[in-house]
């Protein structure tokens, strides 16, 4: 079942582009074409406007909460080419940092796993991806991957801080040697994987399957298995699930989840990584789950936050 437990009336004056809950599920951040970012306290089914953040001069595309160990920090990106990092201090939200290094719309922001500290990846229509690392003392170190995606990067998503394949054999007590990795999708129809080597970001993989803009990418949270999973969705209506069992991370296999009739805007993994929410044109939100035999099936059509959930059956799978 998908049942509405709270309806938040955001009072945004224009289109909402993103809505994200914080780590504990107690606060909701929304952003809109009205150039504002709003934060609501939504505990116990209520909605209290905590902050109305103004600072962007264009539509705000995405918001992202940092891990709470760093405090209450929210990043937002906008068509105005800016990334703003907001921080709550004594109950009031202020700009912590404003990044203006992009030459076009910044379409996506994503915080890295907390193991890496406070690090933010930003993807822009100028084709570049910026990586902002907090170095303390209000200082941010900026690394930029130029021309990561020709004519624009639409989405970035970090890999969980695990070393696939080596998880089980992890020597205990030793700090694992995580490799920073993330995935991006762009207007060149490509999904690209990036990894940091010796402090430099390098293109690790180039995944080709989409025939139009890649609208969103989502690296699934690790569920302790050595497999890495990435979802990508595109203007071409296709959603692909990419998996990699190879410990070196070199062999990625795409599986077509579904071909929708309209653009697919967004993919989001559940915290446990077993359900994928796909949102597309026509305000269509569907939930997908992997069955025991590894096939993906739609388990729910969500409309206005409501929907039934069906169990995966064989008939359903053949229909897919």
| β-pairing verdict for 284-290 and 238-244 | unpaired
Determine, following the binding rule CB under 8 A, whether residue 104 of this chain makes contact with another protein. yes
Q: Which stretch binds another protein (CB under 8 A): 48-56, 61-69, 130-138, 194-202?
A: 61-69
In order of 251, 265, 273, the CA distances from 228 in angstroms are 10, 22, 11
Restricting to residues 125-154, which ones interact with another protein according to CB under 8 A?
Answer: 125-128, 146-147, 150-152
Closest CA to 204 of 160, 147, 249: 249
| Min dist. Cβ of residue 278 to another protein (A) | 7
| Min dist. Cβ of residue 50 to another protein (A) | 14
Among residues 37, 83, 84, 105, the one that binds another protein under rule CB under 8 A: 105
Among residues 8, 143, 195, 320, the one that binds another protein under rule CB under 8 A: 8
Half-sphere exposure of 248 (CA within 13 A, CB side): 4
| Min dist. Cβ of residue 26 to another protein (A) | 9
| CB-based contacts of 248, cutoff 8 Å, min separation 6 | none
Using CA atoms, how far apart are residues 26 and 46, in angstroms rounded to an integer? 10
Residues paired with residue 241 on neighbouring β-strands, in sequence order: 231, 255
Contact 56, 37 (CB under 8 A): yes
Backbone phi, then psi, for 114, in 5-degree steps?
-60, -20
Please say which residue, 202 or 224, places its beta carbon nearer to another protein: 224
Restricting to residues 179-198, which ones interact with another protein according to CB under 8 A?
Answer: 187-190
Restricting to residues 275-294, which ones interact with another protein according to CB under 8 A?
Answer: 275, 277-285, 287, 289, 292
DSSP code, position 66: P
Using CA atoms, how far apart are residues 283 and 303, in angstroms rounded to an integer? 8
Among residues 53, 61, 86, 112, the one that binds another protein under rule CB under 8 A: 61
Closest CA to 119 of 153, 143, 148, 91: 143
| Min dist. Cβ of residue 198 to another protein (A) | 23
# binding residues, another protein (CB under 8 A): 103
Determine, following the binding rule CB under 8 A, whether residue 305 of this chain makes contact with another protein. yes
Closest CA to 88 of 6, 22, 155: 22
CB atoms within 10 A of CB 180: 21
Determine, following the binding rule CB under 8 A, whether residue 12 of this chain makes contact with another protein. yes
CB atoms within 10 A of CB 71: 12
Please say which residue, 104 or 198, places its beta carbon nearer to another protein: 104
Six-digit token string for 45: 């089914």
Restricting to residues 83-102, which ones interact with another protein according to CB under 8 A?
Answer: none
3-state secondary structure of 317: helix
The pattern of x and - marking residues 206 through 245 that bind another protein according to CB under 8 A reads x-x--xxx-------xxxx-----------x---------
| Min dist. Cβ of residue 151 to another protein (A) | 5
| Min dist. Cβ of residue 118 to another protein (A) | 12
| CB-based contacts of 257, cutoff 8 Å, min separation 6 | 231, 238, 239, 240, 241, 276, 278, 288, 296
The pattern of x and - marking residues 19 through 58 that bind another protein according to CB under 8 A reads xxx-xxx--x-x-xx--------x---------------x
Determine, following the binding rule CB under 8 A, whether residue 77 of this chain makes contact with another protein. no
Restricting to residues 256-275, which ones interact with another protein according to CB under 8 A?
Answer: 265-266, 268-272, 274-275
């Amino acid at each position: 079942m998908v049942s509405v437990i709270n309806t938040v009336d955001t009072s945004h004056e224009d289109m909402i582009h993103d809505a994200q809950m914080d780590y504990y599920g107690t606060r909701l951040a929304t952003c809109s074409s009205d150039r504002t970012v709003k934060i609501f306290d939504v505990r116990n089914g209520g909605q209290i406007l905590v902050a109305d953040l103004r600072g962007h001069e264009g539509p705000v595309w995405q918001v992202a909460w940092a891990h709470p160990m760093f405090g209450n920090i929210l990043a937002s990106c906008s068509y105005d080419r800016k990334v703003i990092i907001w921080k709550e201090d004594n109950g009031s939200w202020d700009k912590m940092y404003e990044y203006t290094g992009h030459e076009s719309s910044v379409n996506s922001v994503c915080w890295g796993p907390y193991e890496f500290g406070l690090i933010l990846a930003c993807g822009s229509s100028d084709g570049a991806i910026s990586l902002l690392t907090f170095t303390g003392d209000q200082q941010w170190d900026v690394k930029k991957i130029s021309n990561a995606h020709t004519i624009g990067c639409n989405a970035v998503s970090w890999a969980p801080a695990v070393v696939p394949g080596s998880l089980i054999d992890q020597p205990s007590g030793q700090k694992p040697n995580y490799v920073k990795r993330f995935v991006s999708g762009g207007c060149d129809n490509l999904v690209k994987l990036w990894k940091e080597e010796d402090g430099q970001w390098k293109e690790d993989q180039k995944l080709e399957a989409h025939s139009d803009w890649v609208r969103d990418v989502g690296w699934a949270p690790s569920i302790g298995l050595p497999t890495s999973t990435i979802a990508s969705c595109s203007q071409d209506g296709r959603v692909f699930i990419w998996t990699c069992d190879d410990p070196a991370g070199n062999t990625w296999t795409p599986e077509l989840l579904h071909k929708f009739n309209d653009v697919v805007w967004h993919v989001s993994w559940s915290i446990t990584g077993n359900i994928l929410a796909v949102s597309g044109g026509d305000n269509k939100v569907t939930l997908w789950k992997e069955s025991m035999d590894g096939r993906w099936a739609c388990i729910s059509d969500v409309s206005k936050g409501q929907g039934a959930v069906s169990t995966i059956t064989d008939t359903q799978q053949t229909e897919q």
